Amino acid sequence: MTGTSGAKADARKRIAARGAQELREGMYVNLGIGIPTSVPSFLDPDVSVVLHSENGLLGIGGFPAPEDEDPDTINAGKEPVTLAAGAAVFDSALSFAMVRGGHLDLALLGGMQVSATGDLANWRTAGKLIKGMGGAMDIVRGARRVVILMEHTAQDGGAKLVRHCTLPLTGKGVVDRVITELGVFDITGQGFVLRELAPGTTADEVRGRTDAPVTVDMRRPWGAAWN
């Protein structure tokens, strides 16, 4: 999230903090580019997980101090990272063997649009390529669960939670949950179901900024990451 400031930076930080709460003891978790790369900074130190990056890392730690950065140790977003004890470094072929073999419990990915049926578009927007689709097309099919961490609306104010994606798809019917600065949404046969509402936000605001019907079925208050 380098170079982001103000309310936008605060929203992205809160999304990453809530995304960290999706991780459970012993999970193998892929982190995509964008907001997910900040998740390690918010992990509960008492929860032991193994973080995977598609470019060939297993056992990602947090971001290093500037003086400790190693240009050869980077995540999928080309950001310097640290390696946890017991980490492994390998080529992308082995990395995607792990993905395609179904060894990932969870994938936390960024998104540009998610549809009410769980379709994901996360590699092209407004006619601009974002370095191609990359490995996300494999990850959304290989991971047992896919959670999208993204801001609720685009820079132009357009909705990112939509009835039908208008951007090229990464995967069809692959998203289980979406976390934005406004709330936590599960995708079910009913479409978007609001499970948690962020403090200071109303269900009417969520509906007004979502281009698809939203069913309200709260299961618990928003997590402690907002405190």
- Distance from C-alpha of 21 to C-alpha of 35, rounded to nearest angstrom: 14
Query: Which residues, in sequence order, are bridge partners of residue 124?
Result: 129
**From residue 34, how far is each of 92, 130, 211, 226 by CA, in Å?**
20, 11, 23, 20
Closest by CA to 169, choosing from 132, 122, 135, is 122
Distance CA 151, CA 131 (A): 20
CA gap 187, 115 in Å, rounded: 9
Amino acid, res. 180: T
Residue spans of alpha helices (H) in the chain:
6-20, 92-100, 136-142, 203-208
Contact criterion met (CB below 8 Å) for 85 and 132? no
Q: What are the residue numbers of the active site?
A: 54
Cβ neighbors of 144 (< 8 A, separation 6 or more) are 102, 104, 105, 106
